[in-house]
């Protein structure tokens, strides 16, 4: 093995709930080197974050529109300011949690306080019209809650939650644990989406200003906001009670480096030598920025695409009934082989495989197959579309298993929180790049295809393929699988 090519394994500190990887008896007792309860709570922390995140991103906006009856510009202002708060405070709380030395550990105070305040605040958001009526004063109340209170508190929770896997899970187990976490992430997106559809069915009324449309009632908003609030409250309490950094075997406060002031930590991080040492991390950020721009291009217009293509309900049920279980199975397979073969060897083929689905879609749309999903007689067509959907969803969700594991390996010890905050920049910047590029294509090149959104299915694989050379340039991080390393001998 060439020493220059190998990246030293960044082993997490070992707590009393961990087992040494070299101890066969303990490894057999705890499959992933840690008590299953820890993995379950880490997964629940992700579930709470996803349900809350969906509620904040979707329901707060419809509340401004349906209940306060304000123009879209008011939603745009609130969303933009909230995004800025996320960029700033996710990093700030990452730095603070890295340097917290409380009796409750580093992350737990932020997890609990952030979750409780965010949960209560998002529920209180739904009472703005009751306190102030449908007025600008109610909007100001909602703006302060979303941008200031939730903008600060939720990022305290996210800063603690997003480093749970690298904090508690050893590199050789992270791929499989991330597959479990990603499964909960998918469930966390599907659950509130299904609840929203049910709320639209039973708690929505015809819009008084436009009888052809429907709006969700104030009671419906309060109910849905309460679901999001309670999800993050429960997750934060469970995380605080269970995910303890125990002293004695390397994970207590006695094993941590000396506490730094906020400005002192910034000076230590943002200097040329330190940044140069983390060049692999920044190469991965660049690769993910390109890749996630493709994901954002389709996610930004997902509902528009579904409605524009007019897939029949019968066909959609079969397509999702095939695609979702297949993706869930593949997520576990990806986790297993991420730990067996390495992050790079799993990520790149998965990206290429997902491109197949996106390439299939323009032919499916332009041939008219997409519109032939209304009966069992069209089952062969439905199965072809289901295959394409499986590859597409695999690209949007499955790739994150090896890539998130890769990024967690590259988080520097003692600075995981702040570098996770830097990594968070990808989400915001890629949304701008992806949505703007897709919007320009569909607007100015519309009319060439039967559906303007066909351009998005052409655009996404371009982003995906463009990211591959950058991923190739990032060094492997799984111990024993760095470039040039020989595979470990079988025992």
Instruction: Kindly report the CATH number assigned to the domain that includes residue 278.
Output: 1.20.1250.20
Whether residues 221 and 299 share a domain: the answer is: no
> Among 211, 245, 270, which residue terminates a domain?
270
Per-residue pLDDT tens listing for the chain (491 residues)? 344 444 344 444 433 343 433 333 344 467 777 888 999 999 999 999 999 998 998 889 889 988 999 888 888 889 888 888 988 999 999 999 988 888 888 899 999 999 999 999 999 999 999 999 888 999 999 999 999 999 999 999 999 999 999 988 888 899 999 999 988 988 888 888 788 878 877 888 888 887 777 888 999 999 999 999 999 999 999 999 999 876 533 455 556 677 778 888 788 778 888 788 899 999 999 999 999 999 988 877 765 676 566 666 677 778 878 888 898 899 999 999 999 999 999 999 999 999 999 999 888 888 877 766 666 667 788 888 889 989 998 888 889 999 999 999 998 888 888 888 888 888 878 888 888 888 888 888 877 777 778 888 899 999 999 999 999 999 999 877 654 444 444 33
**Tokens 């708060």 sit on residue:** 85
Task: Return the structure tokens found at 227.
Answer: 């679901």
Q: Report the domain count for the chain.
A: 2
The per-residue pLDDT for 455 is: 86
Check whether residue 46 and residue 95 sit in a common domain. yes
Residue where one domain finishes, among candidates 219, 240, 270: 270
Q: Does 242 share its domain with 301?
A: no
What tens digit of pLDDT does each residue of 422-443 get? 888 888 788 888 888 888 888 8
Q: Are 286 and 428 contained in the same domain? A: yes
Two tokens, residue 224 = 């849905």
The pLDDT value given to residue 297:
85
Cα–Cα–Cα angle for 465, 468, 470, rounded to 5 degrees: 130
Mark whether 141 and 223 lie in a shared domain.
Answer: yes
Q: What's the pLDDT at 312?
A: 66
Nearest C-alpha neighbor of 385 from the set 397, 373, 375? 373
Could you tell me the residue range of the domain that residue 424 belongs to? 272-491
pLDDT at 248: 39
Query: In this predicted structure, what is the pLDDT of residue 304?
Result: 62
**Structure tokens of 74?**
């008011």
* Residue 204 φ then ψ, to 5°: -100, 155
pLDDT value for 377: 67
216 and 297 together in one domain: no
For residue 255, the model assigns a pLDDT of 61
Asked whether 175 and 337 are in contact (CB, 8 A), the reply is yes
12, 243 contact by CB (below 8 A): no
Question: 171, 411 in Cβ contact below 8 A?
Answer: no
Residue keyed to tokens 């958001």: 125
Q: Tell me the C-alpha distance between 330 and 226, whole Å.
A: 33
Domain boundary residue, one of 220, 252, 270: 270
Residue 233 confidence (pLDDT): 98
Q: Are residues 293 and 247 in the same domain?
A: no
**Are 154 and 277 part of one and the same domain?**
no
Please indicate, yes or no, whether residues 24 and 162 belong to a single structural domain of this protein.
yes
SS3 assignment, position 189: helix
Ordered DSSP codes for 436-475: HHHHHHHHHSTTSSSSTTHHHHHHHHHHHHHHHHHHHHSP
- 243 is written with which tokens? 């995910």
At 9 the pLDDT is 41
Classify burial at 8, counting beta carbons within 10 Å of its beta carbon; exposed 0-12, middle 13-18, buried 19 or more. Answer: exposed
Report the alpha-carbon distance of residue 209 to residue 184 in Å, rounded: 39
Considering just the CA atoms, what is the radius of gyration of the chain in Å?
23
Q: State the DSSP string of 202-260.
A: HSEEEETTEEEEEEE-HHHHHHHHHHHHHHHHHHHHHHHHH----TTTT-SGGGSPPP-
The answer on 266 and 276 residing in a single domain is no
Residues 467 and 332 in one domain: yes
Q: Which of 288, 250, 234 lies closest to 45 in space, CA to CA? A: 234
Number of other residues whose CB lies within 10 A of the CB of residue 20: 12
What Cα–Cα distance (Å) separates residue 456 from each residue in 58, 446, 467?
22, 11, 17
State the Cα–Cα distance between residues 354 and 391, nearest whole angstrom. 4
Report yes or no: 19 and 30 within 8 Å, Cβ to Cβ. yes
Model confidence over 321-360: pLDDT tens digits?
Answer: 888 889 889 999 999 999 999 999 999 999 999 999 999 9
> Which tokens hold the place of 149?
């209170």
The verdict on 241 and 292 lying in the same domain is no
Length of the chain (residues): 491
As a whole number of angstroms, the distance between CA 154 and CA 121 comes to 10
């Amino acid at each position: 093995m060439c020493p220059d090519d190998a990246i030293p394994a960044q082993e997490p500190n070992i707590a009393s709930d961990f087992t040494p990887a070299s101890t066969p008896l303990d490894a057999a007792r705890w499959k992933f080197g840690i008590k299953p309860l820890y993995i379950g709570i880490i997964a629940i922390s992700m579930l709470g974050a996803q349900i809350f995140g969906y509620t904040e991103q979707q329901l707060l906006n419809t509340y401004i529109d349906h209940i306060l009856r304000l123009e879209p510009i008011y939603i745009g202002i609130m969303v933009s300011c909230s995004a800025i708060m996320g960029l700033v405070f996710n990093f700030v709380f990452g730095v603070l949690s890295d340097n917290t030395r409380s009796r409750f550990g580093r992350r737990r105070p932020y997890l609990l306080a952030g979750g409780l305040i965010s949960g209560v605040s998002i529920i209180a958001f739904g009472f703005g019209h009751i306190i102030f009526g449908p007025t600008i004063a109610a909007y100001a109340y909602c703006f302060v809650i979303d941008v200031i209170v939730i903008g600060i508190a939720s990022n305290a929770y996210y800063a603690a939650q997003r480093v749970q896997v690298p904090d508690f899970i050893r590199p050789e187990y992270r791929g499989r644990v991330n597959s479990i976490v990603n499964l909960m992430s998918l469930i966390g997106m599907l659950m509130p989406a299904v609840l929203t559809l049910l709320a639209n069915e039973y708690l929505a009324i015809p819009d008084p200003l436009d009888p052809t449309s429907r709006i969700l009632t104030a009671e419906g908003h309060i109910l849905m906001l309460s679901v999001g609030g309670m999800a993050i409250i429960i997750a934060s309490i469970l995380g605080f009670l269970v995910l303890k950094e125990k002293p004695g075997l390397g994970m207590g406060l006695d094993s941590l480096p000396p506490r730094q002031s906020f400005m002192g930590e910034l000076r230590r991080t943002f200097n040329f030598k330190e940044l140069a040492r983390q060049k692999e991390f920044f190469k991965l950020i660049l690769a993910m920025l390109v890749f996630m721009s493709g994901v954002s291009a389709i996610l930004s217009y997902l509902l528009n695409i579904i409605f524009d293509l007019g897939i029949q309900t019968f066909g959609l049920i079969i397509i999702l009934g095939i695609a979702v279980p297949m993706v869930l199975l593949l997520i576990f397979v990806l986790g297993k082989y991420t730990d067996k073969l390495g992050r790079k060897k799993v990520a790149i083929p998965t990206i290429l495989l997902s491109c197949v689905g996106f390439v299939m879609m323009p032919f499916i749309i332009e041939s008219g197959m997409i519109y032939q999903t209304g009966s069992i007689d069209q089952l062969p067509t439905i199965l072809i579309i289901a295959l394409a959907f499986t590859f597409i969803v695999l690209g949007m969700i499955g790739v994150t298993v090896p890539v998130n594991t890769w990024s967690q390996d590259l988080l520097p010890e003692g600075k995981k929180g702040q570098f996770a905050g830097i990594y968070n920049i990808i989400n915001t910047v890629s949304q701008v790049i992806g949505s703007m590029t897709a919007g320009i294509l569909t607007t100015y090149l519309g009319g060439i295809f039967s559906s303007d959104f066909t351009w998005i299915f052409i655009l996404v694989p371009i982003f995906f393929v463009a990211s591959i050379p950058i991923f190739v340039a990032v060094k492997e991080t799984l111990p024993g699988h760095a470039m040039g390393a020989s595979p470990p001998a079988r025992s």
